[in-house]
Structure 1
């Protein structure tokens, strides 16, 4: 029982650190200030960042379930997080007429929701790929 508790706590803390690190990177990749936009009530920014948080958490879920220890959880969690960041950059690149960053910064809720769904959907594919 104590070993399981230690393992659970290690996976939890490891996963939480990966989520925080990935969100830090995401907030540096976007061309707007995520936290400022959210503080000012920009729902589109909240949806977009919320989707990234859900996406990374989902990837961590898959990495914990498919790993035999903390080291594997870290490797697969970070690998999946990097893939999710690349998918976001690809999403921005593939939609040049939409200009995702500008639309989210201006409060376009539809684009924020689309970004959220895209992040969560990509996380399911990435998660299944690493498990």
Structure 2
């Protein structure tokens, strides 16, 4: 497969992995609709979702750097989504004084920023572990 076609295949795979990951995340973790919140101007939710997108894409990028197999990249992306979910629950557990989900829904930007950083940081750690 030529480099242009392979790039397009990775591009499509990344879109699918991110889209499916975001749908799963919204179904499992939130009592509100992420995209409705973003449309309404909720910056905290936008930061949180943006961090998840970047975190998943970082894992995909590291996978592409270390593998020439599109299927491996999709599998790593799926694994990244699962780890993002685990990180979300750990983050929520560690902030027992408040609900991350509720604070995001309320538009607390500080919580959105920390949530974004957790997702991006996790993306780097998982990505760096790919060999």
**What TM-score, normalized by structure 1, do the two folds share?**
0.91
Partner of 2:119: 119
Shift of 1:22: 0.6
Cα shift at 1:61: 0.8
Aligned length: 130
Segment of structure 1 superposing worse, 21-30 or 109-118: 21-30
Equivalent position of 2:108 in the other structure: 108
1:22 equivalent in alignment to 2:28: no
Moved over 4 A (4+): none
For 1:103 and 1:36, the matched residues in 2 are separated by 16
Cα distance, 1:110 vs. partner?
0.6
Give 1:91 deviation, angstroms: 1.1
**What does the per-residue CA deviation read over 1:5-31, in whole Å, with 9 as the maximum and x for residues that have no partner?**
222211111111101111111222223
Distance 1:20 1:67 in 2: 22
Shift of 1:120: 0.6
CA distance in 2, matches of 1:27, 1:127: 23
Q: Is the 8 A contact 1:59 1:81 kept in 2?
A: no
Listed one character per residue, the Cα deviations across residues 60-87 of structure 1 (whole Å, up to 9, x for unaligned) are 1111111121111112121122112211
Tell me what 2:77 maps to: 77
**Alpha-carbon separation, structure 2, partners of 1:92 and 1:19:** 22
Which shows bigger deviation, 76-85 or 52-61? 76-85
Unaligned 5+ residue runs, structure 2?
none
Q: Hey, what's the Cα distance between the residues in 2 that align with 1:85 and 1:39?
A: 23
Gaps of at least 5 residues in structure 1 are none
Task: Calculate the TM-score normalised by the size of structure 2.
Answer: 0.91
Q: Shift of the alpha carbon at 1:90?
A: 1.5
